[in-house]
């Protein structure tokens, strides 16, 4: 394992969980340097336990990945030998409303990181640039079939197009400059610390508040779901054993339609907070009564499904958390971490960031 790992976007949902997972890994004895711009979906409080428990091995740098000079200084300051690149604008709806941010962060930011790594590592071979990507770059499937590592790219939204572009840049740096790289394309993640603009936390928190549960179109758009810890364990396997220049698909092998997800969440929340006991619910109503079908979003891909035979066969990866168990854990986490939830929903965490990180 590497000595000084630079994690980009480490205050976000998957990144913060990755840092926690990596520190729990007995094979890892090195340092983690977390670089994050602290945009709306990033929260240093996600890692308050890490800052406390790993003071000598965890370092935070507030910076934008598009800032080449800052990133270059961080590379030199910490002698970075591995980059795990999570930082990205990732919400499809936001990419439709404001695509420029996605172009800047996901394409220009990735280019800046690649160029920094190339100039600092020169001919080094004991280094790695690992790029986190998405299954959305592959486009949309019909009722059958799967995305393979060899599937042609066919992105349908500004978000997926920006990620596809960054994937191509990473591969280009491998072939042109011999930069040691690996890429993973993962399916939909869920779990603790996910910003509540995404489907699962959004629905959980709306139920608690007794608000409507808006479902796009007919609700039959299908996604493959993976618990965030399983995804991060797979990333660690790629970092440890993956072949340079290769892409690995990471999937949960759990296809669910959006409406089935929402119905399952209604049942899971009801097990812990019965609708009849929720003071925010109208008397006599259950959580499923809150479901409202709304106009579909533009370019809404119908189905994603990941084939992850390659990583299972070559790197001995296996998912450990079945979907229903993962959903139960996720619902329990949001219900048991009301301080975090309130901080996010009220925007109070932004004031905390401004107070503690404004000078960085």
Pick the closest to residue 233 from 245, 222, 241, 224 (CA basis).
Answer: 241
- The catalytic residue among 136, 149, 224, 230 is 136
- The catalytic residue among 81, 135, 233, 255 is 135
Q: Which residues contact 212 (CB under 8 A, 6 or more apart)?
A: 206, 290, 291, 292
What are the helix (H) ranges across 178-277? 199-209, 228-241, 258-272
CA angle 194, 248, 119 (to 5 degrees): 85
Query: Number of C-alpha atoms within 13 angstroms, CB side, residue 155?
Result: 19
| 136 is known as an active-site residue | yes
Work out the number of other CB atoms within 10 angstroms of the CB of residue 265. Answer: 24
Q: Classify burial at 337, counting beta carbons within 10 Å of its beta carbon; exposed 0-12, middle 13-18, buried 19 or more.
A: middle
What whole-number distance in Å separates Cα of residue 30 and Cα of residue 157?
38
| 51 is known as an active-site residue | no
Pick the closest to residue 201 from 338, 62, 309, 359 (CA basis).
Answer: 338
Distance set, CA 270 to CA 4, 131, 282 (Å):
45, 39, 14
Q: Which residues contact 286 (CB under 8 A, 6 or more apart)?
A: 266, 270, 275
What whole-number distance in Å separates Cα of residue 276 and Cα of residue 285?
8
Work out the number of other CB atoms within 10 angstroms of the CB of residue 351. Answer: 11
- The catalytic residue among 78, 159, 190, 349 is 159
What whole-number distance in Å separates Cα of residue 11 and Cα of residue 112?
20
| 159 is known as an active-site residue | yes
Residues annotated as catalytic (active site), given as ranges: 135-136, 159
């Amino acid at each position: 394992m590497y000595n000084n790992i630079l994690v980009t976007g480490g205050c976000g949902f998957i990144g913060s969980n990755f840092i926690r997972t990596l520190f729990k890994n007995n094979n890892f004895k090195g340092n983690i340097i977390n670089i994050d711009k602290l945009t709306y979906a990033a929260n240093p409080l996600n890692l308050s336990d890490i800052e406390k428990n790993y003071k000598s091995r965890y370092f935070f740098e507030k910076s934008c990945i598009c800032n080449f000079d800052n990133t270059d200084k961080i590379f030199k300051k910490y002698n970075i030998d591995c980059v795990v690149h999570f930082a990205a604008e990732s919400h499809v709806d936001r990419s439709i409303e404001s695509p420029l941010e996605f172009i800047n962060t996901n394409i220009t930011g990735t280019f800046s990181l690649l160029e920094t790594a190339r100039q600092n590592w020169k001919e080094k071979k004991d280094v790695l640039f690992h790029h986190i990507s998405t299954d959305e770059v592959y486009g949309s499937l019909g009722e059958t079939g799967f995305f393979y590592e060899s599937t042609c790219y066919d992105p349908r939204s500004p978000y997926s197009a920006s990620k596809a572009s960054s994937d191509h840049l990473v591969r280009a740096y491998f072939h042109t400059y011999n930069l040691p790289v690996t890429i993973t394309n993962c399916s939909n993640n869920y779990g603790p610390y996910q910003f509540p603009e995404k489907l699962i936390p959004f629905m959980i928190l709306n139920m608690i508040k007794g608000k409507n549960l808006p479902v796009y179109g007919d609700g039959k758009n299908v996604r493959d779901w993976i618990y965030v810890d399983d995804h991060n364990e797979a990333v660690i396997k790629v970092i440890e054993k993956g072949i340079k220049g290769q892409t690995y698909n990471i999937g949960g092998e759990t296809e669910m339609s959006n409406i089935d997800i929402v119905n399952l969440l209604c049942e899971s929340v009801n097990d812990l907070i019965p609708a009849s006991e929720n003071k925010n619910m109208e008397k006599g109503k259950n959580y499923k009564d809150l479901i409202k079908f709304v106009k579909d979003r533009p370019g809404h891909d119908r189905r994603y499904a990941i084939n992850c035979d390659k990583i299972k066969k070559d790197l001995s990866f296996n998912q450990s958390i079945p979907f229903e168990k993962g959903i139960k854990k996720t619902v329990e986490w949001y219900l048991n971490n009301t301080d975090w939830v309130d901080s996010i929903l009220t925007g109070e965490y932004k004031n905390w960031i401004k107070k503690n990180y404004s000078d960085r």
